[in-house]
Amino acid sequence: MSESKLKSTALDKVQQDGQLPSEVAKELGISSRLLYRWLREPKSTKSQSRQCIEDEIEKLTRKLHQLRQQMRQLEPH
């Protein structure tokens, strides 16, 4: 499991499922200290990642629209 997936899984177990950090750390084979550090990280990191993804989706949606318009222009009338 990649570190980002491990981090996401650990944080979900604590924040969404309400499990104790010490239990989650033991279950996933990571140190409690590392998990507590992840829990203290600013939430803005997640927000920034989400914003990057949303920006990319918007960019790709515009490109898709543009390509569809070009396809319509190339269709025989």
> Which pLDDT score, from 0 to 100, does residue 6 have?
92
Each residue's pLDDT tens digit, 45-64: 566 677 778 888 999 999 99
> Which pLDDT score, from 0 to 100, does residue 46 have?
60
This prediction's pTM: 0.54
13 pLDDT above the threshold of 90: yes
Query: Would you say the C-alpha torsion 63, 65, 68, 69 has a positive or negative sign?
Result: negative
Contact 35, 25 (CB under 8 A): yes
Residue 29 DSSP SS3:
coil
Q: What is the DSSP letter of 43?
A: T
* H or E element, residue 33: helix 32-40
Both tokens assigned to 28? 């996933």
